[in-house]
Amino acid sequence: MNQLHRPIAIGALVAGSLALCTAKAVAQDQLADMTKDANQWVMTGRTYDLQRYSPLTQINATNVKNLHAAWSFSTGTLRGHEGNPLVIGSVMYLHSSFPNKVYALDLSKPGAPQIWQYTPEQDANVIPIACCDVVNRGLAYHPSGKLYIELLQGDLLALDAKTGKKIFQVKSADFHKGETMTNAPLVVKNVVLTGISGGEFGVRGRITAFDAMDGHELWRGYSTGPDADVKISGTPNANYPSMQGKDLGVSTWQGDEWQHGGGTTWGWYSYDPKLNLFYYGSGNPGTWNPDQRPGDNKWSMTIWARNPETGEVKWVYQMTPHDAWDYDGVNEMVLFDTKDGKKLLVHFDRNGFGYTLDRTNGKVLVANAYGPVNWAKSIDLTTGRPVEDASKRTTAKGNTEGICPAAIGFKDQQPSAYSPKTGWSYVPTNNICMDYEGVEVKYAAGQPYVGAIVRMFPGPGGNRGAFIAWDPTVGKIMWSDKEGLASYGGALATAGDIVFYGTMEGWLKAVDAKTGKLLWQYKTPSGIIGNPMTYVGPDGKQYVAVLSGIGGWAGIGVAAGIGAEDPTAGLGALGAFGDAGSFSTQGGVLTVFSLDSPGTAAK
Amino acid sequence: MNQLHRPIAIGALVAGSLALCTAKAVAQDQLADMTKDANQWVMTGRTYDLQRYSPLTQINATNVKNLHAAWSFSTGTLRGHEGNPLVIGSVMYLHSSFPNKVYALDLSKPGAPQIWQYTPEQDANVIPIACCDVVNRGLAYHPSGKLYIELLQGDLLALDAKTGKKIFQVKSADFHKGETMTNAPLVVKNVVLTGISGGEFGVRGRITAFDAMDGHELWRGYSTGPDADVKISGTPNANYPSMQGKDLGVSTWQGDEWQHGGGTTWGWYSYDPKLNLFYYGSGNPGTWNPDQRPGDNKWSMTIWARNPETGEVKWVYQMTPHDAWDYDGVNEMVLFDTKDGKKLLVHFDRNGFGYTLDRTNGKVLVANAYGPVNWAKSIDLTTGRPVEDASKRTTAKGNTEGICPAAIGFKDQQPSAYSPKTGWSYVPTNNICMDYEGVEVKYAAGQPYVGAIVRMFPGPGGNRGAFIAWDPTVGKIMWSDKEGLASYGGALATAGDIVFYGTMEGWLKAVDAKTGKLLWQYKTPSGIIGNPMTYVGPDGKQYVAVLSGIGGWAGIGVAAGIGAEDPTAGLGALGAFGDAGSFSTQGGVLTVFSLDSPGTAAK
């Protein structure tokens, strides 16, 4: 962990100052300052804006063909591996799928040996409660030297980044009620923001904020219920009449269904330090059977802007009122500014539309389909509501066939990247459609509350996914690379004019940012549903790292060993992606790449 | 699986002829003929002599520094991965640890996608019966297109190599009695030779031979008991008086202890087609407590030469009479001929001596220590017996301290290589010593029958292993590369003047065959206890492949998650190699290397 010889001054300064930090002394923007050092990767999306963009250029479109594996590391768990490691100073921090092991690896030594590892003790009874594999999307770091991970069983765990010793572990969710935790927390100043999963168990979605130092709860903001619970004090969204009024989180539901109303919060969170707002999406309303919950079901399927310190809602925007397709709105909001200073966000929703919003006020500027959507013709920019095709609205009265996209969306958890250099988003997508039939279901705490039978299948063209470039200012696909299976891992864009993404077969690919041309690929041990990231090691060389480890919703067939006999199994994923073992094998492995000859590691 | 474009004629001919083969039509030496094609790797040691030597030279001492990972594949299981894949034509066949999955991978396509996979159904109750992790040492192939694997629960399984469909599965061992199966079978003509594990459960070791076509039992030869059971008809060993006489497998035991006498057969088997003899070693006598079994305990700790078709013993040679240290004799016999035509074998025993024998008659020519042995001063070449240091002979009357080597030997399962080019053996070794105290134990079927408390610790110098070159004609170390941990994976020597071996930390290393100089290394995802192998792919390029996946006896701390608080845990391995997770993490991954730029895989 010798920081003195690091070539980049900012990294050295930040790391060197850690020892001096106390809780109170942490500068308001210290974590934001750390993101200015492109050599490090200190939060899940590298920067608060979730652009997953690196200014590094050592590896670029010209030389990426010479990239090769530099070292590799097994996480010791088999199930699906979403997310990506962090690099702080000369240490890499890595998480695993359940039971959410955490590792610190010493990048200053050949092969990056372990500094410490921590295996949380968790109740294995939580495993069947996780709807779509026992994934975890990664760690968050606080400049006082703390790491945070959300444990599947419902705890926020804080570790000492230097020693791996537990600092605190606080209960936030109760898996006996179907509440689990899978997403990467977001640290803003001294606040740790966490979400919950469990939309298939009739949970009530919320964000819970904890004090970064001792883990005491600071606030909780629900997705459904009275404004006081939701933390709405003003007009929810001044742009759209249907999003104005009091307690819409109650009145847009029948009876007390809002109490089991879903709106989970397991996606990626972004943050704008100047506006002091963080952005995230809420998931499906419970149940999946729309006939059981007349109304808009606010605020499921919604984009949120909240104050991280108080939880106060600045604005909300509901994308899919009265969802009938499980089009969770949890996908990430990527923040970017236009050259003329507009503060925007771009979001690729499960419902198949790519939205560009004014992030100061929740007004939709662009909303175009980024795949062959047929459940809605368009998004009406005046009302903010979709213009539906009535024949594709599902019901419990019968099976509705041939809906595009499927419940898993044209994009699910796999985070997109945005390059300020090209001004484009890079989006890993699914091309999956479905048949959907609502089913009457009764709520019982901790029992599945799905209420639908879904059969998923490849969309038009037969390819099950594509990796696309998208201009968010006009809402247009700039190029598209077809994939045999879904691109169910995240994207990484770099100033080297290349974009990285993974495939469910296990290929990590580098493509030209301007044309999508395949420049390089490597077959990792297992299917990739994690996110590539990049950093500069203590040796001054740029590395690219990616977790492989098939699983997640798309890979549940392999992860849970389910055969493809029943295409509705795995909430429909088996029909979409085929049977266990047909395209990949289980196992969590980080593979790290560089341009350097591995032979030079022999010293 | 397009064979037509393979550059090597022999491989193409052999593969092309498979369809025409019937059981009876299989030429006597067809498998031996296939080994003449250096592009393939058709049996565990590449050739019947177990030399693990490849004539390939594309990758050599000059260019190995440019070697890098070409692709990788997760086996989908976490426990220790011993053994190595086979390559036949353009297909790689790979096994995993329990439950002994088998994969066929298509080498003619980028990233070697699966052709088929087979997961045997096994009784999970066998897991605690495996003394030292639930490893498997690999597959055997028959030219009629069949693959064989020994299942941990005690079955021989035959699969159709083309389709992965089961051909037969026959029971050979009963794990309820402590008998398990872990070793790689050996195919000789139409015979499949199998062994058993379970020396810690008072089993009775034996070789069982099965018909390769339908799996019916051909013969069984025991390690202990009457000559009729052992299949000795003549003089056991004409060279040594103590190895002459009738029914020594009974008379060298007290009472009926020979019925629980161990002598298991889980090592690697070699075969000499001209002599029509196969060679293997037998393991420890049961129990580990020597006071309970006075006598030489024949034929435990013995080198065997048998006829593969009849089981008839040609000769035996007992290395460690009346074992008091668990110095299993199972390590491989590597066959080689001298320039003047002597037919020899070399064997590195757990007892710390490297033996060179005349393999026609079992006469010891050389027996020298290959590590800091102290339990015996030498092997008396006249009597064939060790000259013991009485102070290191263990007993149940007290703890005997500071014995070298430890029970795990200066070498255990990790197979050595032999280069006919240098005339040297390349030997991965442990440097571990021990304290040992016998304990009275009663036999009960299926219960542990260990009878000793063993504490293992690093040997002189503190390094826990080394990789050495050895001249077997004189019994001398030619060079030695120290390792921090044991070199618990196998070795591969090539005509490119390089030798490959793996480490428990996960490094695959290439060293200069003449000097031992480190030329290249790569950090695989997990510790290596498997064996590197090499082949030429359908693209005409040489590849090197190795399984990583920490475990086995040495890695049981990591594999079974045992802490190091009790150094006698894991039959002493915890004291020797430290606690769970300190040096590696679990996960079975095959990594395949080439000189080719991975960027060219982008097509």
What span, in angstroms and rounded, lies between the C-alpha atoms of B34 and A109? 43
CA B556 to chain centre: 17
pLDDT value for B15: 40
Residue with tokens 């060298």: B252
Nearest to A147 by CA among A162, A161, A164, A136: A161
Quickly list DSSP for B9-71.
Answer: HHHHHHHHHGGG--TTTS-TTHHHHHTT-TT-B-STTSSTT---EE---SS-TTTGGG-EEEE
What's the CA dihedral at B288, B291, B292, B294 to 10 degrees?
A: 110
A23 pLDDT more than 90: no
Of all residues in chain B, what percent are helix, strand and coil, respectively (each to 5)? Answer: 10, 35, 55
Comparing CB atoms, the residue among B506, B587, B598 nearest residue A588 is B587
Comparing CB atoms, the residue among B73, B119, B509 nearest residue A525 is B73
B-contacting residues of A 44-73, CB under 8 Å? 64-69, 71-73
Nearest to A504 by CA among A448, A443, A550: A550
| pLDDT tens figures, B261-319 | 999 999 999 999 999 999 999 999 999 999 999 999 999 999 999 999 999 999 999 99
Residue A6 confidence class, pLDDT cut points 50, 70, 90: very low
Residue A13 confidence class, pLDDT cut points 50, 70, 90: very low
Token code pair at residue B369? 């220590």
A512 pLDDT more than 60: yes
pLDDT value for B579: 61
CB contact under 8 A, B74 and A598: no
Residue B14 confidence class, pLDDT cut points 50, 70, 90: very low
Residue A579 confidence class, pLDDT cut points 50, 70, 90: low
For residue A567, give the amino acid letter.
P
B-contacting residues of A 560-599, CB under 8 Å? 581-591, 597-599
Q: Are B290 and B323 in contact (CB under 8 A)?
A: yes
- What is the arithmetic mean of pLDDT over A348-352? 98
pLDDT value for A581: 60
Query: Please, what sign has the CA dihedral across residues A63, A64, A68, A72?
Result: positive
Residue with tokens 């798309």: A554
| pLDDT tens figures, B516-530 | 999 999 999 999 999
Nearest to B549 by CA among B525, B577, B576: B525
Q: Are B420 and B336 in contact (CB under 8 A)?
A: yes
Q: What percent of chain A has pLDDT over 70?
A: 94
Q: CA dist B262 to A196, B135, B179, B284, B450, Å?
A: 55, 19, 10, 6, 11
Report how far apart the first and last C-alpha atoms of chain A are (Å, whole number).
19
pLDDT value for B2: 37
CB contact under 8 A, B519 and A585: no
Q: CA dist B557 to A94, A334, A495, B571, B573, Å?
A: 22, 44, 44, 10, 7
Q: Supply the pTM of this predicted model.
A: 0.94
| pLDDT tens figures, A185-236 | 999 999 999 999 999 999 999 999 999 999 999 999 999 999 999 999 999 9
Given the cut 0.90, state whether the ipTM is greater than it: yes
Q: How many CA atoms lie within 13 A of B281 on its CB side?
A: 29
CA A547 to chain B, closest CA, distance in angstroms equals 11
A10 pLDDT more than 90: no
pLDDT value for B560: 81
Catalytic residue ranges of B: 326
Query: Please, what sign has the CA dihedral across residues B528, B532, B538, B540?
Result: positive
A-contacting residues of B 332-361, CB under 8 Å? none
CA A421 to chain B, closest CA, distance in angstroms equals 25
Three-state DSSP state, A561? coil
Query: Please, what sign has the CA dihedral across residues B319, B325, B326, B332?
Result: negative
Q: What percent of chain A has pLDDT over 90?
A: 88
Average pLDDT over all residues of chain B: 93
Residue with tokens 């088999």: A78
- What is the arithmetic mean of pLDDT over B237-255? 98
What span, in angstroms and rounded, lies between the C-alpha atoms of B89 and B110? 16
- Lowest-confidence segment of A574-578, A589-593, B346-350 by average pLDDT: A574-578
Question: Would you tell me how many other CB atoms lie within 10 Å of the CB of residue A254?
Answer: 11
- What is the arithmetic mean of pLDDT over B168-187? 98
Q: CA dist A40 to A33, A137, A540, B391, Å?
A: 11, 19, 12, 59
Q: Are B489 and B529 in contact (CB under 8 A)?
A: yes
User: For chain A, what's the residue count?
Assistant: 603
pLDDT value for A134: 95
- What is the arithmetic mean of pLDDT over A347-365? 98
Residue A29 confidence class, pLDDT cut points 50, 70, 90: confident
What span, in angstroms and rounded, lies between the C-alpha atoms of A364 and A366? 6
CB contact under 8 A, B522 and A75: no
What span, in angstroms and rounded, lies between the C-alpha atoms of B368 and A182? 59
CB contact under 8 A, B69 and A68: yes
Residue with tokens 């707002």: A277
What's the CA dihedral at B44, B46, B51, B53 to 10 degrees?
A: -130
CA A339 to chain B, closest CA, distance in angstroms equals 36
User: CB contact, 8 Å: B524 with chain A?
Assistant: yes
Nearest to B399 by CA among B433, B434, B374, B436: B436
pLDDT value for B597: 57
Nearest to B486 by CA among B434, B531, B428: B428
B559's enclosing H/E stretch is helix B556-559
Comparing CB atoms, the residue among A65, A111, A584 nearest residue B599 is A65
Residue B599 confidence class, pLDDT cut points 50, 70, 90: very low
pLDDT value for B581: 61
What span, in angstroms and rounded, lies between the C-alpha atoms of B292 and B149? 35
- What is the arithmetic mean of pLDDT over B386-407? 98
Q: Are B456 and B433 in contact (CB under 8 A)?
A: yes
Q: Are B417 and B50 in contact (CB under 8 A)?
A: no
Query: Please, what sign has the CA dihedral across residues B410, B413, B414, B417?
Result: positive
pLDDT value for A515: 98
A65 vs B contacts (CB less than 8 Å)? 597, 599-600, 602
Backbone angles phi, psi at B206, to 5 degrees: -170, 165
pLDDT value for A7: 40
- Lowest-confidence segment of A135-149, B377-391, B570-584 by average pLDDT: B570-584
Residue with tokens 């074998």: B345
- What is the arithmetic mean of pLDDT over B92-116? 97
A509 vs B contacts (CB less than 8 Å)? 602
Q: Are A77 and A571 in contact (CB under 8 A)?
A: no
When comparing pLDDT for A257 and B556, which is higher?
A257
A542 pLDDT more than 60: yes
What span, in angstroms and rounded, lies between the C-alpha atoms of B318 and B263? 11
- What is the arithmetic mean of pLDDT over A165-172? 98
What's the CA dihedral at B284, B286, B290, B291 to 10 degrees?
A: -170
B507 vs A contacts (CB less than 8 Å)? 111
